Amino acid sequence: MNRPKYISMLSYIVLLGAIYGELLYPSSSFMWIIFAFIGGVLLVIKNKTISVGKFKPLIILLDMCVPLFLILTNFSLHISIEWKQLFFLVISTFYIIFYFILLYKYNQE
């Protein structure tokens, strides 16, 4: 497994897992903040290692906006926890699929 793919998967698992964990278990928020910090550091390392030239600014912008959007919607939507979980799962799955398509399909330069 090459380095950008490994770091990408690890950073998304830790960062999105921390956001999802805060959604499910808000009583242990200090632990989720530590995990989110580690995921954010891994995200910065990931953004330094990717080599897709023309899509790199788009990937960096989406890496900032999508987790922030998920955090804000999880705390502001007044719907049941099941719908929040479904919303989180759909948005994060589509984003990760879109990222890996950009990273590997269009890396044929």
Please state, in angstroms and rounded to a whole number, the distance separating the CA atoms of residues 80 and 62: 27
Note down the domain range covering 83.
3-105
Three-state secondary structure call for residue 25: coil
* All residues at 6 or more sequence positions from 21 whose CB lies less than 8 Å from its CB, including other chains: 28, 31, 32, 35
User: Residue 107's pLDDT is what?
Assistant: 61
Residue 98 predicted with pLDDT over 50? yes
User: Residue 109's pLDDT is what?
Assistant: 46
**Could you report the per-residue pLDDT of 12-63, keeping only the tens digit for each?**
999 999 999 988 888 888 999 999 999 999 999 988 888 777 888 888 899 9
pTM for the full model? 0.84
Residue 75 predicted with pLDDT over 90? no
Structural domains in the chain (count): 1
CA atoms 35, 28, 92, 69: torsion sign: negative
Please state, in angstroms and rounded to a whole number, the distance separating the CA atoms of residues 100 and 11: 13
User: Residue 54's pLDDT is what?
Assistant: 80
